[in-house]
A and B are shown apart, each in its own frame.
Chain A
Amino acid sequence: MQPFSYERAEEVRRAVAAVAVNPQARFISGGTNLLDLMKLGIERPTDVIDISRLPLDRIEAAEEGGLRIGAQVRNSDLAADPRVRARYPVLAQALLAGASGQIRNKASTAGNLLQRTRCYYFYDRNMPCNKREPGSGCAALEGLNRMHAVLGGSDACIAVHPSDMAVAMTALGARVETLSPSGDTRTIPITELHRLPGAEPHVETTLEHGEMIMAVTLPPPPAGRQIYRKVRDRASYAFALVSVAAIVAVSNGQVRSARIALGGVAPKPWRAVNAELALAGAPATERTYTQAADAALAGARGYGGNDFKIPLARRTLRYTLAAAGELV
Chain B
Amino acid sequence: MADSMTQPSRNRASTGDDRPIGQPIDRVDGPLKVAGRATYAYEQTLGGTPAYGYIRGAAIARGRIAAIDTSAAERAPGVLFVMTHRNAPAQTAFGPSVTPTVPEAFTRARPMLANDRVRYYDEPVALVVAETFEAARAAADLIEVRYARESGVFDLHTHLDDAYAPIRTNAGFETDSAVGDFMGAFSRAAVKVDATYRTPYEHHNPMEPHATLAVWSGDEVTIHTSAQTLANYQAGLANTLGMPPERVRIVSPFIGGGFGSKLIVHADTVLAALAARVLARPVKIALTRQQMFANAGYRAEMIQQVRLGADPDGRLIAMGHDVHSATSRFEEFCEQTAVFARSLYAAPNRLTRHRLVGVDLNRGEWMRSPGEAPGMLAFECAMDELAERLGLDPIELRIRNEPSEDPERGVPFSTRNLVDCMREGARRFGWERRNPQPGCIREGRQLIGYGMAAAIRPNYIGATTARVAIDADGQVTAQLDMTDIGTGTYTILTQIAAESLGVPLSAVTVELGDSRFPRTSGSGGSWGAASTGSAIHRACAALKTRILEAARSNESSPLYGMDLAEASFVGGEVLVGERSENLADLIRRIAPEGIDAEGTVASVRETESYAAYSQHSYGAHFAEVAVDCDTGEIRMRRMLAVIGAGRILNAKTARSQILGGMTWGIGAALMEESVLDSRHGHFVNHDLAEYHVPVNGDVQDMQAVFLEEHDDKANPLGAKGLGELGVCGAGAAIANAVYNATGVRVREFPVTLDKLLPELPMVAI
Contacts and interface: CB of A to CB of B under 8 A. Distances in A.
Contact of A311 (B77, B686, B757): B757
Contact of B134 (A1, A40, A127, A328): A1
B671 interface: yes
Interface residues on A, range: 35 or more
Interface in A1-38: 1-3
Interface string B671-686: 1000101011010111
A123 B695 contact: no
B695 A236 contact: yes
Interface string A302-323: 0000001001100110110010
Contacts of A2: 138, 141
In the A-B complex, the 4 residue pairs with the smallest Cβ-Cβ separation, listed nearest first, are A235-B697, A236-B697, A308-B754, A126-B59
Interface string B274-295: 0000000000000000100000
Contact of B753 (A127, A143, A233, A286): A233
A120 B673 CA distance: 14
Interface stretch (B231-239, B627-635, B707-715): B627-635
A151 interface: no
Given A143-B684, A231-B631, A237-B697, A322 B765 contact: yes
B757 A312 contact: yes
A312 B671 contact: no
Contacts of B630: 315-316, 318-319
A264 B728 CA distance: 35
Nearest to A241: B753
B684 A234 contact: no
Contacts of A241: 753
A312 B698 contact: no
A3 B445 CA distance: 53
A236 B699 CA distance: 11
A289 interface: yes
Interface in B126-178: 134, 137-138, 141
B765 A286 contact: yes
A301 interface: no
B117 interface: no
B765 A289 contact: yes
A126 B682 contact: yes
A54 interface: no
Interface in B748-765: 752-754, 757-758, 762, 764-765
A328 B684 CA distance: 40
Given A139-B680, A316-B631, 20 more contacts: A3-B134, A39-B137, A139-B677, A143-B679, A144-B675, A144-B685, A231-B633, A231-B753, A232-B633, A233-B692, A234-B671, A234-B697, A234-B698, A235-B698, A311-B758, A312-B754, A315-B762, A316-B630, A318-B630, A319-B765
A200 B452 CA distance: 52
10 contacts: A1-B138, A2-B141, A3-B134, A39-B137, A143-B677, A144-B684, A233-B752, A237-B695, A286-B765, A322-B765
Interface in A124-162: 124, 126-127, 139, 142-144, 146-147
B765 A120 contact: no
Interface in B607-643: 630-633, 635
Nearest to B137: A1
A235 B1 CA distance: 12
Nearest to B667: A234
B753 A312 contact: yes
Interface string B694-726: 111110000000000000000000000000000
A319 B689 contact: no
Contact of B692 (A121, A234, A289): A234
Contact of A235 (B635, B679, B684, B765): B635
A3 B632 CA distance: 46
A238 B684 contact: no
A107 B248 CA distance: 46
Contacts, number: 98
A118 interface: yes
Contacts of B60: 126
Contacts of A139: 677, 679-680
A62 interface: no
A289 B762 CA distance: 13
Interface centre among A126, A289, A316 (most CB of B within 10 A): A126
Given A126-B682, A308-B757, A286 B631 contact: no
Interface in A41-99: 41
A139 B670 CA distance: 26
B17 interface: no
B755 to A, nearest CB: 8
B593 interface: no
A1 B142 CA distance: 11
A234 B60 CA distance: 32
B473 interface: no
B633 A286 contact: no
A289 B764 CA distance: 12
A120 B685 contact: yes
Nearest to B687: A123
A327 interface: yes
B754 A146 contact: yes
Interface in A210-262: 231-239, 241-242
A241 B755 CA distance: 14
Contact of A124 (B682, B689, B694): B682
A41 B141 contact: yes
Interface centre among A233, A234, A241 (most CB of B within 10 A): A234
Contact of A234 (B677, B686, B687, B695): B695
Contacts of A118: 689-690
Contact of B765 (A40, A232, A327): A327
Contacts of A322: 765
B154 to A, nearest CB: 13
Interface centre among B60, B633, B692 (most CB of A within 10 A): B633
B680 A127 contact: yes
B677 A144 contact: yes
